[in-house]
Amino acid sequence: MPSMAVKRTDPNQSQFVRFLRWTMRGRGSQVKAMEDALRLRRSLKIIVLGSAMILMPSMLLAYFGISSIQGEELAVIDDVKNQAEGAADSFLVQYERGFTAFEEAVIDRLEAGRSPLEVPQELHPNVLVALKLDTNLAVKAPFYRGFQRPVEPIEYLFDAGIQRAMSADRRGEDAAIVSRLYSRAARNSVSPQTRSRMIFDRARLLEENGRTVDASGLFDDIRRLYGDVRDPWGFRMADLVDLYLAERQLGQDLMPGANALRDLVARVMDRRWAIGRGGEGAVARRALSQLEPLADSEWVAATRERIDDRMRMLYWAEQLLPELDGILAGQRNLSVDQGKMRWISGDRGLWALTWWGEDLYAFGLDQDTVLQDARRLASTVVPSASSVRADLLRPGSEASEGALTRRSLVPWLTGWSMVLAPRDAVALAEDLRQRRNRRIGIIVLAISMIGVGALATVRLVGTELDSARMKADFAANVSHELRSPITQIRLKAESLMLGLSDTEEERQSDYYAIVRESERLSRLVDNVLDFSAIERGAKTYALIPGDLGATVQAAVEAVETSAELVERDLYVRIGRALPTVAHDVDAIAQCVINLLSNAAKYSDESKPIRLEMEREKDGVAIRVTDEGIGIPEEDVQQIFEPFFRGGDASVRRRKGTGIGLAITFYIVSAHKGAVDVVSSPGEGSTFSLWFPSWNGGLADRPGA
Ligand code: ADP
Q: Which of 639, 652, 657, 676 to mutate to test the pocket of ligand 1 (most atoms within 8 A of CB)?
A: 639
Find, among 107, 103, 108, the residue nearest to 127 by Cα.
103
| pLDDT (average), residues 299-304 | 93
Q: Which residue, judged by its Cα, is nearest atom 19 of ligand 1?
A: 598
**56-111 and 367-381 helices, crossing angle to 10°:** 140
- The model's pLDDT over 451-509, given as tens digits with 9 standing for 90+, comes to 888 888 878 887 887 777 777 777 777 787 788 888 889 998 998 888 888 888 888 88
pLDDT digits (tens, 9 = 90+) for 602-640: 999 999 999 999 999 899 999 999 999 999 988 888 899
Q: Which CATH class is domain 537-692?
A: alpha beta
Cα(699)–Cα(101) distance, integer angstroms: 110
Q: Are 236 and 230 in contact (CB under 8 A)?
A: yes
201-210, 237-246, 564-573, 694-703: least confident range: 694-703
Ligand 1 contact via 675 beta carbon (within 6 Å): no
**Which ligand 1 atom is the nearest neighbour of the CA of 656?**
2
pLDDT digits (tens, 9 = 90+) for 141-195: 899 886 665 555 566 667 889 889 999 999 999 999 999 999 999 998 888 888 8
The three-state secondary structure class of 531 is helix
Query: 390 and 417 in contact (C-beta within 8 Å)?
Result: no
| 598 within ligand 1 shell (Cβ under 6 A) | yes
Spacing, Cα 251 to ligand 1 middle (Å):
143
Stretch 699-704: mean pLDDT = 45
639 CB within 6 A, ligand 1:
yes
List the residue whose alpha carbon is closest to atom 23 of ligand 1.
599
> CA 673, 675, 678 angle in degrees (round to 5)?
155
**What pLDDT, on a 0 to 100 scale, did the predictor assign at position 500?**
85
Q: Where is pLDDT greater, at 563 or 168?
A: 168
Measured in Å, residue 591 CA sits from the centre of ligand 1 at 13
Q: Are 603 and 627 in contact (CB under 8 A)?
A: yes
Q: For ligand 1, is residue 404 a contact (CB within 6 Å)?
A: no
Query: Across residues 507-531, what is the average pLDDT?
Result: 85
Mean pLDDT taken over the chain: 84
Which pLDDT band holds residue 581 (cuts at 50, 70, 90)? very high
Dihedral, CA of residue 639, residue 640, residue 645 and residue 646, to nearest 10: 10
* Sequence spans of domains, the chain: 148-311, 537-692
The fraction of the chain above a pLDDT of 90, given in percent, is 37
624 lines ligand 1 (CB under 6 A): no
The verdict on the CB of residue 660 being under 6 Å from ligand 1 is yes
Q: Whose CA is nearest to atom 11 of ligand 1?
A: 645
- Distance in angstroms (rounded) separating the CA atoms of residues 317 and 321: 5
Write down the pLDDT at residue 225: 93
Return the ligand 1 atom nearest residue 29 CA: 16
Instruction: Evaluate: CB of 625 within 6 angstroms of ligand 1.
Output: no
Q: Is 232 exposed, middle or buried (0-12, 13-18, 19+ CB in 10 A)?
A: middle
485 lines ligand 1 (CB under 6 A): no
Kindly report the protein residue whose alpha carbon is nearest to atom 14 of ligand 1. 645
Query: Is the C-beta atom of 527 inside 6 A of ligand 1?
Result: no
CA of 604 to the centre of ligand 1 (A): 14
Cβ contacts of 330 within 8 Å, gap of 6 or more? none
Among protein residues, the one whose CA lies closest to atom 16 of ligand 1: 646
357: left (phi over 0), alpha (psi -120 to 50) or beta: left
**pLDDT above 60 (res 32):** no
- What is the mean predicted confidence (pLDDT) over 346-356? 90
Is any ligand 1 atom within 6 A of the Cβ of residue 659? yes
| 432-448 average pLDDT score | 88
Predicted pLDDT of residue 610: 95
Does the structure show a pLDDT above 50 at 404? yes
Report field, pTM of the whole predicted structure over 0.85: no
| Residue 100 vs residue 234, higher pLDDT | 100
Asked whether 647 lines ligand 1 (CB < 6 A), one says: no
pLDDT of 102-124, one tens digit each?
999 999 999 999 989 988 888 99
Closest atom of ligand 1 to CA, residue 655: 2
Q: Which atom of ligand 1 is least distant from the CA of 664?
A: 6
How much is the pLDDT for 39? Answer: 57
